[in-house]
Amino acid sequence: MRRSLLTKGLFALFLMLLLTLAACSGGSDDSESDSSDSGEGTDEEQEGGEAEASEDKLYSIEDFSPSASNEGEPIDGGSITYGLVSDTSFEGTLNWNFYDGDPDSQVLKWFDEGLLTYDENYTMTNDGAATYEVSDDNRTFTFTIKDGVNWHDGEPVTAEDWAFAHEVIGHPDYEGPRYSASFQNIEGMDAYHNGEADSISGIEVVDEKTLKVTYKKATPSLLTGGVWIYPMAKHIFGDMKVSEMVESDAVRKNPIGFGPYKVESIVPGESVVLKKNEDYWRGEPRLDEVVIKVINPNTVVQALESGKVDLVSSFPTDQYPDNADLSNVEYLGKIDLAYTYIGFKLGTWDKENKEIKPDPDAKMANKNLRQAMWHAVDNKSVGEKFYNGLRWNATTLIPPSHPAYHDEDNPGREYDPEKAKQLLDEAGYVDTNDDGIREDPDGEELTINFASMSGGDVAEPIANYYIQAWEQVGLNVELLNGRLLEFNTFYDKVGQSGNDDPKVDIYQGAWSVGYDVDPTGLYGREALFNFSRYGSEENDELLAEGVSEKAFDQEVRQEVYNEWQELMVDEVPVFPTLYRSLIVPVNNRIVNYDLYADDMSTGDTYLYELGVTQEEPVTAE
């Protein structure tokens, strides 16, 4: 009997524990939705009070520097651990010409690099291992590799190697993901890719160090990522079949490059040890050794705290507010090349002609309706309440990560529910049956289906917030299928393979943007990823002008893209909601590190200069 009593007692205890846990989580949920309710609430005053009351701090990306503060003198040598933060292990395709996933590129950047570097506007510079010159017609680029640029095995990096990389990627048997539009822009590439020619007519090896590449179309995109900058060691890969290269030991087990560190050993999928490359063309690296280890995003904070990693490849921004005062790390930050947006479905994809097919009768085809929906949402509050200010109100479709092209003077559409109501009234969206919900201009009931992706804790509250905000101006918006959609399902429905789900009226997605600001790949008439299926002559013209020869002049290009940003604010096929920041913690002993150090020459910091001020990592007290 004693036993059963005790068991019962234990059971009761567990039940109580469970209930308390449930109560706790219920409580916090409530408070969260409370704050979002008042966030969408009416007057500023109340909001201010709310912000004061809440314990959450607000941060701003402007308070972060992209460079480590360099306190203290670096010692000679030293070893650091680089945490490769990833849900998935690195695949081990360790060659720029073949790699696919981001984790591999985080390993690659330590031992291999591009021959050219980019400045803060993502434009090619002459500061890297090679220099370039452009011909008068802007179509032919002459590249010269600097002396002393050698592969890790001592062989010089030659123009032949660079041409070889083009030949491999353009080869019919090449299976990697690199054969893109910019390759097709090289003269003679089509014929070579189809197997009609044995060589690429537009590529000429002038001498050991000089390469000449002629492109079909002169476009400023060539300067911002349109040139293939990674050579491939012909003395190693030259005798291999293209289809066998990616599986070879030269990619998997003993990869080489010409970067500041050399690969010493690899444990597939989990770690890599690199030693310094004394022969590095910029100079001898300061560190003796770099160890790269894969760490799970769930444990990254503990790994930093205990000094098990000095640097990380990325950091989950949502963990920052709780760990902002870790004593042994310094947080660096920059504006991420990305934006979140809400899009309106304005047509479908024409599979036959491979272009968008706008539908003038689409539910969202009314411009006033779209403008009103932008005015109705308060993205400033969304950024503050859900992201502690680390994401903030977005204004145009070119994010401020591209300072030269982001139009700072364009305010986008500000939060103004009254304006939204007025716009809807004007367009004839009025409440005809007094249920508090507006009907469409024909007096039919209007229900807007909203597709949104799952992922992260805040995905659902944010989607709910938008729905409530639209309800405040009298629009009935419902989540498609009543719930959030998983990533693959979401993009299937939105139209990643051209089969747009007609039930989707609006959707929330995100884009990361490349070095090149040209938005044609996302908003052009022939872009499959133009999910809103918006097209207009004015849009076509502006996009074409942005990549025309005239636009080689940066001022002209800026003007064109300012006009395009304005057009998008006026037409609202999609509207940007939030810009993002990228926060990366580094151990206090790290000096000479810069978030741009990997590929940019904005500052004067390069990876080979990275150093430490003491032998052991600083740990948290």
Partner 1 sequence: MNHMWKFSVRRMLIIIPQLLLLSLLVFLMAQAMPGDALTGQINPDLDPQEMQEQREELGLNDPWHIKYADWITSAVRGDLGQSFQFKMPASELIWNRMVNSFWLGVATLIITYLLAIPLGITSGRFNDSLLDSSITGYTYIGFATPIFIFALVMLWIFGYQLGWFPTSGSVAPGSDPGTFEYIVSKINHLLLPAISLGLITTVNTVQYLRSEIIDTKQKDFIITARAKGASESRVYNRHIFRNSLLPIAAFFGFEITGLIGGTVFVERIFGYPGMGDLFIQSVLLRDYTVVTSVVLLFGLASILGALISDIILSLVDPRIRIK
Positions that interact with partner 1 (CB under 8 A): 2-3, 6-7, 10-11, 14, 87-89, 91-93, 98, 100-101, 175, 177, 179-182, 184, 246-247, 252, 264-265, 267-273, 291-296, 298-299, 302-303, 305-306, 308, 354, 486-489, 491-492, 496-498, 514, 520-522, 527-529
Tell me how far, at minimum, the Cβ of 288 lies from partner 1, in Å: 12
Neighbours of 439 (CB within 10 A): 18
Angle between helices 537-546 and 554-571 (to 10 degrees): 160
Q: Considering only CA atoms, which of 490, 491, 489, 464 is closest in space to residue 478?
A: 464
8 Å CB contact between 461 and 508: no
Angle between helices 379-387 and 2-40 (to 10 degrees): 150
Tell me how far, at minimum, the Cβ of 88 lies from partner 1, in Å: 4
* Long-range pairs of 554-559 with CB within 8 A, sequence gap ≥ 24: 554/121, 554/404, 557/220, 557/405, 558/404, 558/405
8 Å CB contact between 115 and 281: no
Considering the complex, state which of residue 349 and residue 596 has its C-beta at the smaller distance from partner 1: 349
Neighbours of 599 (CB within 10 A): 17
Considering the complex, state which of residue 341 and residue 465 has its C-beta at the smaller distance from partner 1: 341
Tell me how far, at minimum, the Cβ of 90 lies from partner 1, in Å: 10
Considering the complex, state which of residue 126 and residue 299 has its C-beta at the smaller distance from partner 1: 299
Tell me how far, at minimum, the Cβ of 100 lies from partner 1, in Å: 7
Q: Which residues pair with 587 in a beta bridge?
A: 329
Tell me how far, at minimum, the Cβ of 528 lies from partner 1, in Å: 5
Residue 434 φ/ψ region, left for φ over 0, alpha for ψ in the -120 to 50 degree band, beta for the rest? left
Q: Work out the end-to-end distance of the chain between its first and last CA atoms, rounded to an integer number of angstroms.
A: 51
Considering the complex, state which of residue 25 and residue 31 has its C-beta at the smaller distance from partner 1: 25
8 Å CB contact between 383 and 393: yes
Tell me how far, at minimum, the Cβ of 237 lies from partner 1, in Å: 15
Tell me how far, at minimum, the Cβ of 116 lies from partner 1, in Å: 18
Tell me how far, at minimum, the Cβ of 17 lies from partner 1, in Å: 9
Six-digit token string for 343 = 């899009």
Q: What angle do CA 384, 386, 388 make, to 5 degrees?
A: 45
Six-digit token string for 479 = 């989540």
8 Å CB contact between 517 and 405: yes
Considering the complex, state which of residue 415 and residue 507 has its C-beta at the smaller distance from partner 1: 507
Buried b (16+ CB within 10 A) or exposed e, 279-301: ebbbeebbbebbbbbbbeeeebb
Considering the complex, state which of residue 514 and residue 603 has its C-beta at the smaller distance from partner 1: 514
Considering the complex, state which of residue 89 and residue 123 has its C-beta at the smaller distance from partner 1: 89
Q: What share of the chain is helix, strand, coil (3-state, %, to 5)?
A: 35, 20, 45
Tell me how far, at minimum, the Cβ of 3 lies from partner 1, in Å: 4
Burial class (CB in 10 A: 0-12, 13-18, 19+), 444: exposed
Considering the complex, state which of residue 430 and residue 620 has its C-beta at the smaller distance from partner 1: 620
DSSP 8-state assignment for residue 62: G
Helix (H, G, I), strand (E, B) or coil at 145: strand
Six-digit token string for 104 = 């591999």
Tell me how far, at minimum, the Cβ of 283 lies from partner 1, in Å: 25
- Pairing between β-strand 210-214 and β-strand 140-145 as defined by DSSP bridges: antiparallel
Tell me how far, at minimum, the Cβ of 306 lies from partner 1, in Å: 5
Considering the complex, state which of residue 14 and residue 37 has its C-beta at the smaller distance from partner 1: 14
In order of 106, 236, 237, 279, 459, the CA distances from 254 in angstroms are 17, 11, 12, 18, 42
Tell me how far, at minimum, the Cβ of 173 lies from partner 1, in Å: 11
8 Å CB contact between 534 and 358: yes
Helix (H, G, I), strand (E, B) or coil at 266: strand
Tell me how far, at minimum, the Cβ of 184 lies from partner 1, in Å: 8
Considering the complex, state which of residue 36 and residue 271 has its C-beta at the smaller distance from partner 1: 271
Considering the complex, state which of residue 21 and residue 197 has its C-beta at the smaller distance from partner 1: 21
8 Å CB contact between 339 and 567: no
Tell me how far, at minimum, the Cβ of 368 lies from partner 1, in Å: 30
Q: Considering only CA atoms, which of 273, 322, 311, 87 is closest in space to residue 303?
A: 311
Considering the complex, state which of residue 8 and residue 206 has its C-beta at the smaller distance from partner 1: 8
Considering the complex, state which of residue 468 and residue 489 has its C-beta at the smaller distance from partner 1: 489
Considering the complex, state which of residue 529 and residue 552 has its C-beta at the smaller distance from partner 1: 529
8 Å CB contact between 433 and 444: no
8 Å CB contact between 287 and 80: yes
